[in-house]
Structure 1
Amino acid sequence: MAVAGIGIDHVDIEKFKSVLEKRKDRFLNRVFTEREQEAAKEKNLLLTLAGKYAAKEAFFKAVGPSKLSGITWKDIEILNEESGKPKIFLHGRALKIANANKIKNIFISISHTDIIAMSQVLLETDE
């Protein structure tokens, strides 16, 4: 196995809160799938969504700018396993790009405090 890409991102919680307060429905529906939004309601909505946003940004960085054409926010879905471990599900253009680049595993870590959320994504190929 080989590392195909790695990305990291952080989100300022206060800035993210401001965006949610100003454009909540429009922003949520553009960036997060229905399943992500529903899952976040069961937890701390602000911190959960900020972490998922950071994870999507980290995924974009791991893929690399030359391969991002046509990927939408909702093509990258972050959900949690029953254990609480986050998992990335790819759809649409993101899935096609991952398959074309022979991505076999996606590792993700999300963490947050009251002031910052951050995520790291590692893409692995079998080549």
Structure 2
Amino acid sequence: MYNKKIDNRHIRGYDMRLGTDIIEIERIKKAIDRSERFRQRVYTEREIAYCESKRTGIYQSYAGIYAAKEAFLKALGTGLRYGSWHDIEVCHDEFGAPSLIITGAFKKIMQERMYTESIVSISHCRSYAMSTVIIKR
């Protein structure tokens, strides 16, 4: 049996970080249907407008955005304790490709750690939404 201890001290200074999240769409649907407060706390006005503009897949869009925010927090490694949901905004271009706008405390943390770029991918099916975020120097 191979039992060598791995030295991962060099990882602290690497140039890129990865975060991934997956969520059940039904969980987001229930949270939104139960409480307008949840939607207002988690999503920006622009994100709400984007999701509500969808003829089908409204809740898939909400869940995808939620997963992207969670994936960003995992990539940054801070959790939500230093900022708010609104400090992470998911925007979409004319082709539907997502991007992140980072503001507030999370922007400051990225600057302190010299991270200059974030890349996001969002996917969903009928039951689940998932996202992967890479932040890099």
**Quick one: distance in 2 between partners of 1:99 and 1:113?**
35
Say if 2:50 is the partner of 1:39.
Answer: yes
Aligned CA distance change for structure 1 residues 53 and 68 (closer, same or farther; 3 Å): closer
After TM superposition, the score normalised by the length of structure 2 is 0.84
- Kept after mapping to 2: 8 A contact 1:3/1:122: no
> Per-residue deviation at 1:113?
0.3
Matched residue, 2:88: 76
> Per-residue deviation at 1:100?
1.1
Larger Rg: 2
Aligned CA distance change for structure 1 residues 4 and 69 (closer, same or farther; 3 Å): farther
Q: Which sections of structure 2, spanning at least 5 residues, go unmatched?
A: 1-13
Structure 2 SS opposite 1:71: coil
Aligned-partner residue type, residue 27 of structure 2: K
Give per-residue Cα distances to partners, 1:76-125, cap 9 Å, x unaligned.
00010112110000111111111111111111000000100000000111
- Kept after mapping to 1: 8 A contact 2:21/2:71: yes
Q: Which sections of structure 1, spanning at least 5 residues, go unmatched?
A: none
Identity value in percent: 37
Which of 43, 47, 66 is the aligned partner of 1:53? 66
**Quick one: distance in 2 between partners of 1:114 and 1:28?**
20
RCO greater where, 1 or 2, for CA within 8 Å and sep 6 or more? 1
Aligned CA distance change for structure 1 residues 83 and 3 (closer, same or farther; 3 Å): farther
> Per-residue deviation at 1:4?
2.7
Matched residue, 1:9: 21
Aligned-partner residue type, residue 95 of structure 1: K
> Per-residue deviation at 1:3?
3.6
| Structure with the larger strand share | 1
> Per-residue deviation at 1:68?
5.0
